[in-house]
Chains A and B, each alone.
Chain A
Amino acid sequence: MAQWIKACNIDDLQPDSGVCALVAGRQVAIFYMPKESTVYALSNYDPFGKANVLSRGLIGDIKGQPVVASPLYKQHFNLQTGVCLEDESVKIPAYAIRIENGSVQVSIPE
């Protein structure tokens, strides 16, 4: 079963932006939208640019879907599902994430 693993504290997050945490050996990009009290977690690896950079992309929404734009070549990834908007055959891992008493926790599938 997947387990909740603590990634960092809430004040390690960047409002309306992203950070990267090392969780169970994986690079996880964590995005924080404080106005909506939402956090999202995706893999930090950009499959187009082939580099660990997604946490440094700009976030926002496109037609109502929350997205991050890759800082390298600007493809959009849905923050909830990891599906690439420009090429739906590309999907990056999206992780369940929650905040418990100021602790940011990610669930990594086995």
Chain B
Amino acid sequence: MSKEQTLVVIGNGMVGQNFLASLVESPAKDDYKIVTFCEEPRAAYDRVHLSAFFTGKSAEDLSLVEPGFFEQHGITLHIGDKAAKIDRHSKTVTSQNGVTIRYDKLVLATGSYPFVPPVPGHDRMNCLVYRTIEDLEAMAAAAKTGKVGVVVGGGLLGLEAAKALKDLGLQTHVVEFAPRLMAVQLDEAGGSMLRRKIEDLGVTVHTGKNTSVITDGEHCVNKMCFVDGEELETDIVLFSAGIRPRDDIARDCGLDVGPRGGIVINNQCLTSDPDIYAIGECALWNGMIYGLVAPGYAMARTVVADLTGNEASFTGADMSTKLKLMGVDVASIGDAHAKTQGALVYTYQNGASEVYKRLVVSQDKKQLLGAVLVGDASGYGTLLQYCLNGIELPENPDALILPPRSDESVGLGPDALPMSAQICSCYDVTKGAVCQAIEAGCTTIGALKSETKASTGCGGCAALLKSVLNSELAKQGFEVNTDICEHFPFTRQDLFNLIRVEEIKTFDVLLERHGKGRGCEICKPAVGSILASYWNDYVLKTEHLGLQDTNDTFLANMQKDGTYSVVPRITGGEISPDMLIALGQVGKKYKLYTKITGGQRVDLFGARVDQLPHIWKELIDAGFESGHAYGKSLRTVKSCVGSTWCRYGVDDSVGLAIELENRYKGLRSPHKIKFAVSGCTRECAEAQGKDVGVIATETGWNLYVCGNGGMKPRHADLFATGLDKATLIKYIDRFLSFYVRTADRLQRTAVWMENMEGGLDYLKSVVIDDKLGLCEQLEQQMQHVIDTYHCEWLTTIEDESKLKRFRHFVNSDQPDDNVVFIEERGQIRPADEEERKHFKMVEVA
């Protein structure tokens, strides 16, 4: 059959798109010409991660459509065009823009819309919902002028929306009709634990509140009046009071819909018309609407199978969920409310650490029926597997929620799971499929993801996927090779320990004792860096020179044409006019291209290797020192104006930035380290994008760690609050020393921490609670580096024998004739290849 039939899909949301993606992978694609109507102005995007829009993800980043998808598969996409009418007699769909398409098969994937309670005033200004990118844009616009935001609805989505309002800088309230938060998923005690935690974060929660009217506010745009007589002024009202299936178009053409909405479907996802299917949030199966993606994807797979002529049926889906709501872990599994006949309940509540856990088990205590976790959801994966696979519970089921009293582990190892266990519910990937992919050679998480799609949806199964991978690799006798390179059978961390314990001071000794061959450009700089971190010798000492990476060998950054750039330190970005003039004079004298860097200092480009010592001599005479822009070491401590000048400043950010930069300058580390200090929460120094960030507050300094910009930007995590300066510095000393000791080569703090078992909490326990008993050593390690600091450029220009190397030719004073500059915007730049041919003769400087 060659595309004689037409398949129309109404709705290009998450499920509609997932359907198309599975369809084009199936044989059925050859049978149909495919047409889809997409009401929104853009094709499908990831609604699940919609909130990421506020943390910098663009609409494009959120897109679920691979570039060229529609073209490549010959799918006609009517974008921004809503299907308005279905005529089941003539089998046609007509759109708002007047397109009429005849269909043989029709799939409805129209999703749902946010329910807005019909209280008077619900359509006033700034009364919004949270479903589409346009909704978020409206929110961001309203937040610009508003101060207060209220979310109506304390369910899952409502709390997520509350976080968004909070992040937009609004005073945030949540108003819930039910007596507790997340009433669908949580029981009474779990709900109140969640409430406490969320209130700790500065969101005010009102439960058992019924809104009677929304009117003009006095201080804010709106005022909400409640049935109990109380009032709440707010600029923004965000409704998140549940969803309703978009079934109008089905209703109008006479398809069966449920009494409370939803297009009725059977196990094949067929509606009451045998040529029309419905999938996703618009569909009503067995009296249920599923407001999650995974069941929608399962419906999509069922329809593809049905169209292909395979037998398949949708038989319901698991509604278990695990989320981080405003930083609080919350999970709910199966029958959380213990509605099953004879169910027994175990609860564990720890008021001190604000953890609540509840297990619902069968009468014979053999099966897990459900669970609720608040504050610590680390057991989610294990519990879910018990529940879904009917694995028999241990003798004392409460061991599963009690904190471990001994070293014995009660977790379910991946080995205990049957091959049919579902690892990823978004993409229905079983353990069997994962194991098969591993056998076929996918030995990394990345490879597994692209082969099986597991963990590419909501990401909730990442930890489980990793443990299956590791256990399978171990079983196959695979040793995951973590050797740094062919010359040393060790990790960087091992090498650090060898150097420390055996007091090794040179590469040659290390190689002789523990390695083989001559070394290479991987192990040499790594060892050079460890030696420098620990002993802090001059890096250009003869025995260390050959270890240094390109830039360190000449203490400058090599540019594309082999010339260098010069970046003197400008601590905290503070510089006097005289120092600026001195910089300008050097730039002018040596005709260097001059630019302000992104790190609050000045870069001078185009210096020939033989010019470097002369330039540095002049800079040092003017009072500058090395900026280590070339090293894997502390770069800059960025600052904002701070309390000295700024009308909002709470503390002296410039002073602290300078002090920190002077303290840690010269510290060699696994990768570069960047700091910033802001004088108040407006955060003009962007401290939350740095490896170490400090923000002044009324109660002291807040310390953030493990952020970065670059290729994969990461927001830093709040590490400790309200610190005095001495404690702040102590924590940073320990943090940095621990990083220097244990990170991999070229691993920034963010990746280091993310790969650390236990993550941020573990790091806190090491640095703050001294869990490893290492803190004193770590502080000493740092103190040694601080005490032995020396400006490498000063040492270099004072040593005649070192200066000999700063020549292009050992046997001639001629410069490199391949270095040619062109003038552009009044300064020099390297000539490109064509230009070089023409201008080769031109002399410069």
Contact = CB atoms under 8 A, between A and B. Distances in A.
B762 interface: no
Interface stretch (B92-100, B161-169, B544-552): B544-552
B486 A57 contact: no
A7 B811 contact: yes
B818 interface: yes
B562 A15 contact: no
Contacts of B519: 60-61
Nearest to B830: A51
Interface in A13-56: 13-17, 19-23, 27, 30, 33, 35, 45, 49-53, 56
A63 B486 contact: yes
Nearest to A20: B809
Contact of A17 (B520, B545, B808): B545
B577 to A, nearest CB: 37
Given A12-B811, A72-B560, A61 B524 contact: no
B562 A51 contact: yes
A17 B558 contact: no
Contacts of B810: 7-8, 12-13, 19-21, 30
Contacts of B814: 22
Interface in B791-845: 804-805, 808-812, 814, 816, 818, 833
Contacts of A35: 508
A62 B546 contact: no
B273 interface: no
B818 A51 contact: yes
Contacts, number: 95
A39 B804 CA distance: 19
Contacts of B476: none
A58 B546 contact: yes
Contact of B550 (A13, A19, A45, A57): A57
Contacts of B562: 49, 51-53, 56
A50 B833 contact: yes
Given A53-B562, A72-B560, A16 B546 contact: yes
Contacts of B486: 62-63
Given A52-B818, A72-B560, A58 B525 contact: yes
Interface in B492-545: 508, 517-521, 523-525, 542, 545
A58 B550 contact: yes
Contacts of B809: 20-22, 27
Contact of A51 (B518, B525, B560, B812): B560
Contacts of A69: 520-521
B558 A15 contact: no
B354 interface: no
Nearest to B548: A58
A21 B811 contact: yes
Contacts of A66: 518
Contacts of B554: 56
A57 B398 CA distance: 61
Given A19-B805, A53-B558, A63-B486, A74 B521 contact: yes
A61 B518 contact: yes
A102 interface: no
Contacts of B524: 58, 60
A93 interface: no
A32 B5 CA distance: 74
B769 interface: no
A109 interface: no
Contacts of A50: 833
A19 B809 CA distance: 7
A72 to B, nearest CB: 7
A7 B805 CA distance: 15
B561 interface: yes
Interface string B563-603: 00000000000000000000000000000000000000000
A33 B518 contact: yes
B517 A49 contact: no
A45 B833 CA distance: 14
B491 to A, nearest CB: 19
B812 A22 contact: yes
Contacts of A8: 810-811
Nearest to B551: A71
A97 interface: no
A25 B544 CA distance: 32
Contact of B546 (A45, A59, A67): A59
A28 B718 CA distance: 53
B553 interface: yes
B549 A58 contact: yes
A60 B523 CA distance: 10
A14 B521 contact: no
A58 B527 CA distance: 13
Contacts of B520: 58, 60-62, 67, 69
Contacts of B542: 15
A43 to B, nearest CB: 12
B234 to A, nearest CB: 56
Contacts of A67: 520
Contacts of A14: 545-546, 805
Nearest to B519: A60
Contacts of A23: 811
A1 to B, nearest CB: 23
Given A22-B809, A66-B518, A67-B520, 12 more contacts: A7-B811, A17-B546, A21-B809, A50-B833, A52-B808, A56-B550, A57-B521, A59-B546, A60-B487, A60-B518, A63-B486, A74-B521
26 contacts: A7-B810, A12-B804, A19-B810, A20-B808, A20-B809, A20-B810, A21-B810, A21-B811, A22-B809, A22-B811, A22-B814, A30-B810, A49-B562, A51-B560, A53-B562, A56-B550, A56-B554, A58-B546, A58-B550, A59-B518, A60-B487, A60-B518, A60-B523, A62-B486, A63-B486, A72-B550
**5 A-B pairs with least C-beta separation:** A16-B546, A71-B550, A60-B520, A69-B521, A51-B562
